[in-house]
Amino acid sequence: MFVIVVYDVDVERVNKVNKYLKRYLFWVQNSVFEGEINKDLMDKMMSGLSKILKEKDSAVVYIFDGFRIERKILGVVKGFTDNII
Amino acid sequence: MFVIVVYDVDVERVNKVNKYLKRYLFWVQNSVFEGEINKDLMDKMMSGLSKILKEKDSAVVYIFDGFRIERKILGVVKGFTDNII
């Protein structure tokens, strides 16, 4: 599956999140990563990322598996609550 | 088509870009917008956004039209150069 991760975290944790996401995905731009990933690694990445996020941190993960676009939000929900777009 | 816009602009232009993108899409999170948009409005949005971006500003636009995922970059290219993912 193809995923895009966009994070919005406290400046203290930016480097930690960057380093962590680089293990799984490619850096695109300020706070944006993307890449192809299988389900097992995806689950591992989501679980690890959840543990890094604190307080008002937030990450939006877009998952593209064929026609269906799924949105998962880790940390604080800032904009939307629906999981399926 | 469904689009995601992620921008990375100088702090001076954050409000301007936010206000502009709100005309076309929904705000998701810090520097991220998304929404369904038709081709005409998409072209208009891209053209207007290009005019706002200056210097080292950058915006990545992901376009999802069925199975194909297209990436367009406005402003400075920071990560990738391929247009089709």
CA distance B67 to chain A (A): 5
Could you tell me if A4 and A65 are in contact, meaning their C-beta atoms sit under 8 angstroms apart? no
User: Cβ contacts (< 8 Å) between A85 and chain B: which residues?
Assistant: 2, 34
Distance from the first to the final alpha carbon of chain B: 16
pLDDT at position B20: 96
Paired residues of B3 in beta bridges: B35, B63
Q: How confident is the model at residue B62 (pLDDT cuts 50, 70, 90)?
A: confident
Please state, in angstroms and as integers, the Cα–Cα distance from residue A55 to each residue in A25, A49, B63, following that order.
Answer: 24, 13, 32
B76 — contact with chain A (CB < 8 Å)? no
Q: Inspect the interface and report whether the beta carbons of A26 and B58 lie closer than 8 Å.
A: no
Q: What is the pTM of this model?
A: 0.79
A–B interface: beta-carbon pairs under 8 A: 63
User: C-alpha angle with apex B34: A68 to B27, nearest 5 degrees?
Assistant: 135
Residue entry with tokens 């206000």: B19
Which fold does the domain A2-75 belong to in CATH?
Alpha-Beta Plaits (3.30.70)
What is the tens place of the pLDDT at every residue in B4-54? 999 988 999 999 999 999 999 998 887 899 999 998 999 999 999 989 998
**Residue A67 clears pLDDT 70, i.e. is over it:** no
Is this complex's ipTM strictly greater than 0.85? no
What is the tens place of the pLDDT at every residue in A12-28? 999 999 999 999 999 88
pLDDT at position A41: 94
